[in-house]
Amino acid sequence: MDFPRPHRKRIEITLVPLIDVSMFLLVFFMVAGTIDKFEIIPINPPLAQSGKPMDEGHILILLGSHGEVIIGDDLLSIADIQQRLAPDLKANSGKVITIKADAAVPANRVIEVMDAIKRAGGQNLSIVTQSKERMHVE
């Protein structure tokens, strides 16, 4: 005697929901994970009538309105600039050094920093300024 066997319903596993969730997570982290470059101290560069847009240099020196000198993440004095830059410039004297000074920084302070850079062996120097349209490096 032949008894009928109950037929099991086949379970299909689809990957469409997994792909949807994966794409959603990818887009979410791309939008939420954008990293903006921020300055350690707020700097408002001086205005300039002329200049040309350039990339920032390999070494960025920040001069704050309260006398701060920052290279990388280090707060330095002007006397320490030469010691900090000399090893980097000895390896590659062609590195571009960018000075980003606040408009309130006295000119003699900027000149002292430029002299320290020259004593350390720096040859390529750029200064960040801003125009009315956008900020650029001169």
pTM over 0.85: no
Say if domain 59-137 classifies as CATH 3.30.420.270.
yes
pLDDT in tens, 46-67: 777 776 666 656 888 889 888 8
For the segment 5-34, what is each residue's pLDDT rounded down to a tens digit? Answer: 777 788 888 888 889 999 999 999 888 877
Q: For residue 47, which phi and psi values (nearest 5 degrees)?
A: -85, 145
